[in-house]
Amino acid sequence: MNDSSDEHGGPDAAGAVPHDFSSNGNGCGPCPTVLKALRSVDASRYPDPRSTRLRERLAAFHGVDSARIVIAASASEFIHRITAAVAQGGGRCVSLPAHSYGDYARAARGWSFDIVREPSDWSVVDLAWSCDPSSPLGQTPTQLPALLDAMEARAVPVIVDFAYAPLRLTGDPALTEAQRDRIWQLWTPNKALGCTGIRAAYGIAPATGAQRLRERVDALAPSWPVGAHGAALLDCWTHADTQAWLAESRHTLKVWKTVQRELLQDATDWRLLSSDANFFCVEPRVPLTPLLTRLRSSGVKLRDCTSFGLPGYLRMAVLPPASLQALLSAI
């Protein structure tokens, strides 16, 4: 049986396309400093299974204690592992945003959680997910502070996925720095660095009150959750030259996004939704299957948002001018 949470952007069974708007990786990437670091990796040796120095570097980068850093094989692996940890503690119900990444629900179903979306009764919730900026809409979850207060009163873990925070082009985060200290944070730098093929991520536990859950999350970790290349990417993420490249790429993406939206509005009657990130959703107002098939045959791919609970909408990343011209020609 097909599971809609199996759907992802990027290459699929039919392979890659030249102009892939379906994946949210940084269109300016890959980051040159990361490529250099990856080429110098010694793949003949195991990395440190405890990621001691890597956790220290990431902790210093975020200004937190290294004991709060949890290394993960990927965002999806962390999602499944912490869901399992909450289930071990007796959790039975998970709260998800109205529209969200499919692996939150996939992990919950694997542990027979009840799934509620933006519930009116928070008393039944044992785990709450959010994403800032959100996916697929790329918008700030303005309800997140209220969610945090409601869950904190019951000592329920709140996990915020910050996969697209480094690619925020406009707007402000939903939480202050002090509020972020009260949640579980999930970081996936490979998107921001334009290296989505390298699977590596990390979590940051809350400053207080999460010791038991953190111990369960650690106990469920495999040996060597990341290989040498994943460790190199996470290490490079903390470097000043990497962050300088990322800052410059945000400026470029912002210009590309403005042009992309303007040309789409001029060339189509599609409805374009607002977004703070390096991607946005559109409503073509035509049947999607023949449209996507025609675009794919022209070397262009967009992401069907049906699996996000948004049938009739497509998500598209911001890409360089050559890809935009290919999209407009295919349309």
- C-beta of residue 281 within 8 angstroms of C-beta of residue 306: no
State how far the Cα of 10 lies from the Cα of 183, in Å rounded to an integer: 30
Q: Which amino acid is at 152?
A: E
CB atoms within 10 A of CB 207: 14
Give the chain's domains with CATH numbers. Answer: 4-29+241-330 (3.90.1150.10), 41-238 (3.40.640.10)
Q: What is the pLDDT of residue 64?
A: 98
State the helix-helix crossing angle for 102-110 and 75-88, rounded to 10 degrees: 40
Q: What pLDDT tens digit does each residue of the chain (331 aa) get? A: 334 445 667 777 778 899 999 999 999 999 999 999 999 999 999 999 999 999 999 999 999 999 999 999 999 999 999 999 999 999 999 999 999 999 999 999 999 999 999 887 888 999 999 999 999 999 999 999 999 998 988 899 999 999 999 999 999 999 999 999 999 999 999 999 999 999 999 999 999 999 999 999 999 999 999 999 999 999 999 999 999 999 999 999 999 999 999 999 999 999 999 999 999 999 999 999 999 999 999 999 999 999 999 999 999 999 999 999 999 999 9
CA distance 123 to 93: 10
* Cβ pair 47, 228 in contact under 8 A: yes
Parallel/antiparallel/unpaired status of strands 184-187 and 19-20: unpaired
Q: In this predicted structure, what is the pLDDT of residue 10?
A: 74
Confidence (pLDDT) at 62? 98
Per-residue tokens: 89: 């503690």
